[in-house]
Chain A
Amino acid sequence: AQTVTQSQPEMSVQEAETVTLSCTYDTSESNYYLFWYKQPPSRQMILVIRQEAYKQQNATENRFSVNFQKAAKSFSLKISDSQLGDTAMYFCAFMKHEYRETSGSRLTFGEGTQLTVNP
């Protein structure tokens, strides 16, 4: 079974600054996907960024980038130029690679990190 751990329950950052959210995971799989999702207050879960384990290059999406360390089983999210709209709960999630069409694709989530961006 896979586990995902987010060791920072809460973080805060000043607007326009950079913040890094941590995530570690445990798996015996060699191929998998990692995701960061954002859940603003009372709003739905939004996909922020995705990383395939077989890719060495770290994924980036505008102000969001990841630091994927496969050997260390670490997957941190860096948010640059933080904006007030980035205030949300952030979840790290793991998904096994599907080798067959019906082999399963559940997401396993961490406990979340509540990020507050202060003006």
Chain B
Amino acid sequence: DTGVSQDPRHKITKRGQNVTFRCDPISEHNRLYWYRQTLGQGPEFLTYFQNEAQLEKSRLLSDRFSAERPKGSFSTLEIQRTEQGDSAMYLCASSLGRQSPQQYFGPGTRLTVT
């Protein structure tokens, strides 16, 4: 399977703990995106990378959130000092970019903060 993969699929953590999620995009895709989806809603954009450069961040991405894509391949999303409001599905997507803009999504990481 050469689709977008995410790890872990589920994460339960206590409030105040730090969590890190990983996304592996489709191998030839240079664009990688993070979205957050709460129950019954559409995904909301968080940030995106072109290769290793983080080109845009949403206002939803507070100071407690940080994302990296160190070698332009996989990406990590870290949430520090988690809050109950961080409970959501975190989706990763990748694309070829401007010439082929459709984004392909991974299965998501469901975060539950207790």
Contacts and interface: CB of A to CB of B under 8 A. Distances in A.
Contacts of A102: 50, 55
A105 B56 CA distance: 9
A105 B105 contact: no
B41 A112 contact: yes
B101 A44 contact: no
B67 to A, nearest CB: 14
A114 to B, nearest CB: 9
Interface string B71-114: 00000000000000000000101010110011111111000000
Contacts of A111: 40-42
Contact of A110 (B42, B91, B93): B42
Nearest to B3: A44
Contacts of A106: 33, 45, 48, 56, 58
A115 to B, nearest CB: 14
A4 B45 CA distance: 14
B102 A105 contact: no
B104 A47 contact: yes
A105 B44 contact: no
B55, B97, B101, B105 — most chain A CB neighbours (10 Å): B101
Contacts of A91: 42-43
Given A50-B102, A105-B95, A112-B42, 10 more contacts: A33-B101, A44-B105, A45-B43, A46-B105, A102-B50, A102-B55, A105-B31, A109-B42, A110-B42, A111-B41
Interface of A: 4, 33, 35, 37, 43-47, 50, 91, 93, 95, 98, 101-102, 104-112
